[in-house]
Amino acid sequence: AHGMLGEVHVRLACLRAMSRMAASGHSFASNPLLESRLWVCCHDPDDAVKAVANEIWTVTGLELSPTYAPPLLALLSNPAEHARQAAAQAIAAAMTTHTSTASATAKQLCELFTSCVPTTKKMTEAERIEASLFEKPSSNGGPKHPATAAVSEESAWMARSGVALALEACGRQGA
């Protein structure tokens, strides 16, 4: 149910629908989010998805915008591994397509990575109390479930993993 970021069969179904639209002359250039998702699919780890996406990209004559980074960087922390892998490849390809953006995008990758590194700072009792005052209570009104912290740590790990994949792809492509 995540459209172009969903499971393989969902991505293919979305792309086949887009392919039919493209064959009838529909342009996707006026939709930057759709354009960026299609660019990600052009770099999908699944060859069938990649082939259909590249066909659509070619048929529609789309060109990647030099402002590609924000929507692609956001996908580096996607819970789905294939989405992180595709986003990483898409970023590396974008950096080689728009070489003038490579330095700024590399800086953004590093900033994203460092912003997701777990802190080792020990909180004082007063800091713990202050932090707990601003915690959103659980849905039943009680204290937050301990797993909440793990979710945020997992999300941070996914972002760091996505950045690592992107930097690796950049190294392979010479971006």
Closest CA to 155 of 123, 112, 126, 121: 112
Q: What is the pTM of this model?
A: 0.76
Q: What local confidence, expressed as pLDDT, does residue 159 receive?
A: 85
Predicted confidence (pLDDT) at residue 162 exceeds the cutoff of 70 = yes
pLDDT at position 50 is: 97
| pLDDT at 150 exceeding the cut of 50 | no
What mean pLDDT comes out for the span 147-165?
71
Average pLDDT value for residue range 65-86: 93
132 vs 149: CA distance, rounded Å: 12
Q: What is the amino acid identity at position 174?
A: G
> What's the pLDDT band for 137 if we cut at 50, 70, 90?
very low
Q: Please state, in angstroms and rounded to a whole number, the distance separating the CA atoms of residues 63 and 36.
A: 10
How far is the C-alpha of 33 from the C-alpha of 20, rounded, in Å? 19
